[in-house]
Copies of this chain bind each other. A is one copy, B any other.
Amino acid sequence: MRLYDMTLSGNCYKVRLFLGMIGQQAELCSIDLRAGEQKRAEFLAINPRGQIPALVDGDMKLGDSQAILVYLARRYADEHWDPLDAVSQGRIASWLSFAANEILYGPATARVGKLFGLPIDTAAVHQKALAALQLLDNHLVTHTWLAEGAQPSIADIAVYPYAALAGDGGIDLTPYTHLNAWFARIRELPGYFGMPGL
């Protein structure tokens, strides 16, 4: 497997983290976003959406961090990471969407604004981020893992990085007791490792 990657991307980190947790290895190929490598023809042939991460496994080419988690779970991981029953599948898909929307346009956008100096509407982005973190905190009052199973799933891996990196965007995570307890549970999982900012 080859993973097109960038060290500071939370979306790339979530794939590297999951690979580590399921005992799989991928050759890492670093993409320079500032140089626009993700929009060049060679890369668009791998992922027409022009985004990292992207995974090549044999003749399969796949973009989108959430989709890569789904692929890796189904192909290489224990079933608890992506259980096949309809309710689990629906719940996981819903959290993957939360990761790609509320989390991406909240804490992840606050982070690129502060860390990389991209122009953002800070007040609006922080409001979204706080709402997303509060929703997570409320959910985790009564659930150990996001998809409500006894073991973690890819939903946890998808949401964790940019939620836990919210501090990089100037957001104080201290008030979110249940969220912090969930962060701690993830950090105790076999194979866990961090990234800069975690």
Contact = CB atoms under 8 A, between A and B. Distances in A.
A71 B100 contact: no
The 10 tightest CB contacts between A and B, nearest first, are A71-B90, A75-B86, A67-B94, A67-B93, A74-B86, A70-B93, A64-B94, A64-B97, A74-B89, A62-B90
A66 B32 CA distance: 31
Interface string A114-146: 000000000000000000000100110000000
A60 B89 CA distance: 12
Copy tally for this chain in the complex stands at 2
Contacts of A93: 64, 66-67, 70-71, 93, 96
Main secondary structure of the interface of A (DSSP, over half): helix
A75, A84, A91, A93: most-surrounded residue (chain B CB, <10 A): A93
A49 B102 contact: yes
A88 to B, nearest CB: 9
A101 interface: yes
Contacts of A85: 74
Given A97-B100, A139-B48, A67 B84 contact: no
Contact of A91 (B67, B89, B100): B67
Interface string A45-71: 000110000000000101110111011
A184 interface: no
A90, A94, A138: most-surrounded residue (chain B CB, <10 A): A90
Contacts of A74: 84-86, 89-90
Interface string A138-156: 1100000000000000000
